């Protein structure tokens, strides 16, 4: 949840009124957790919760399908996708629709796959620190074996936002549609 909140808060901090979400398959715990974190960040900021496109299946094709739906909506300026592959599909859908990233729409993914840094534009994404996750799991396991309460989690130590060129400040909608 913390990672999804981090991604959503980043987009809101850039001046976006709200953040749309491309959810993963809801039979996966990770997808439900990211959806919950997105909702919590919007609620905490007092931002409206926009309707969700159909959940994806973690593939670029499902991100492209969701991105096509979102590209038709002129008020979509920020999107958080539940993984990088779906974000890649959404990037393509926005490009096909003539919507510039990040000029018209900012996009954040999740996982920091190796290709994320080499996309055009390079993808802003959440990176999980698997070493910190493993350390926490070992600490919890040892505590349980020894009959002690599990140690408190250290918020944020397991995730970080890698900001790249796919996100930017919200463009003034009046100037975005003005013709010279």
Provide the residue ranges of all domains of the chain, joining segments of one domain with +: 2-171
For 125, left (φ over 0), alpha (ψ -120 to 50), or beta? Answer: beta
- Residue 95: the pLDDT is 98
Q: What is the pLDDT of residue 174?
A: 44
Tell how far CA 5 is from the center of its chain. Answer: 9
Contact at 8 Å (CB) between 163 and 124?
Answer: yes
Report pLDDT for 155: 55
Inter-residue contact 138 to 123 (CB < 8 Å): no
DSSP-assigned beta bridge partners for residue 67: none
- Write down the pLDDT at residue 173: 57
> Which stretch of DSSP H or E encloses residue 137?
helix 130-145
Tell me which residues of the chain have a pLDDT lower than 50.
Answer: 174-180
Q: Which CATH number fits domain 2-171: 3.30.750.24, 3.40.50.2300, 3.20.20.450, 3.30.565.10?
A: 3.40.50.2300
**Quick one: tokens of 161?**
């936002």
- Residue-wise pLDDT tens digits, 62-108: 999 999 999 999 999 999 999 999 999 999 999 999 999 999 999 99
Q: How many whole angstroms separate alpha carbon 70 and alpha carbon 55?
A: 13
Strand partners, 107: 79
Q: Which of 163, 119, 118, 171 is nearest to 10 (CA)?
A: 163
Q: Which two tokens stand for residue 93?
A: 């859908």
Burial, 98: exposed, middle or buried (Cβ in 10 Å; 0-12, 13-18, 19+)?
exposed
pLDDT for 46 equals 98
């Amino acid at each position: 949840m913390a990672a999804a909140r981090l991604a959503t808060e980043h987009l809101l901090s850039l001046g976006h009124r709200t953040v749309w979400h491309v959810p993963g398959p809801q039979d996966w715990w990770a997808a439900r957790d990211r959806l919950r974190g997105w909702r919590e960040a919007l609620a905490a900021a007092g931002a409206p919760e926009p309707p969700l496109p159909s959940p994806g299946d973690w593939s670029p094709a499902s991100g492209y399908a969701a991105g096509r739906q979102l590209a038709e909506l002129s008020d979509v300026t920020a999107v958080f996708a539940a993984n990088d592959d779906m974000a890649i599909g959404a990037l393509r859908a926005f490009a096909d629709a003539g919507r510039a990233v990040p000029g018209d729409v900012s996009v954040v993914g999740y996982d920091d796959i190796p290709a994320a840094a080499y996309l055009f534009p390079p993808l802003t994404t959440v990176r999980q620190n698997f070493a910190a996750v493993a350390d926490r799991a070992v600490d919890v396991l040892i505590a349980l074996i020894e009959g002690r309460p599990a140690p408190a989690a250290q918020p944020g130590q397991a995730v970080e936002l890698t900001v790249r060129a796919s996100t930017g400040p919200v463009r003034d909608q009046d100037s975005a549609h003005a013709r010279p």
